[in-house]
Amino acid sequence: MKLNITPRVSVDAETARWYREIALQVNGLSEGAISARYQAATAAPTTGTWMQGDFVTNSTPTELGTTPNKYVILGWVCVAAGTPGTWVQSRSLTGN
């Protein structure tokens, strides 16, 4: 079920804008859309403070490697908290 992006009660313009943004974000996440993720990037973070277990989704996944060990980098997981933390790739084998 999708959230309605129009508030059903009378609210000021700023609250309506805020509600629309949240509803669009939740709807996108429920459908698995990368565009709905704030933590999507093309590489592991190099700035900011991160906690162990934080995950950043790869916004540009492509198949890498050589046959029969091709893989896709799904994202990066922080394995040691810090600024910017220690990041490792989260890979998935494609079977190719």
Nearest-10 Cα torsion for 6, 9, 10, 15: -60
d(CA 25, CA 22): 5
pTM over 0.85: no
The pLDDT value given to residue 77: 96
The pLDDT value given to residue 34: 66
d(CA 54, CA 21): 23
**Which residue numbers in the chain have pLDDT < 70?**
34-37
The pLDDT value given to residue 54: 92
Per-residue pLDDT tens over the stretch 60-78: 999 999 999 999 999 999 9
Q: 14: alpha, beta or left, given left = phi > 0 and alpha = psi -120 to 50?
A: alpha
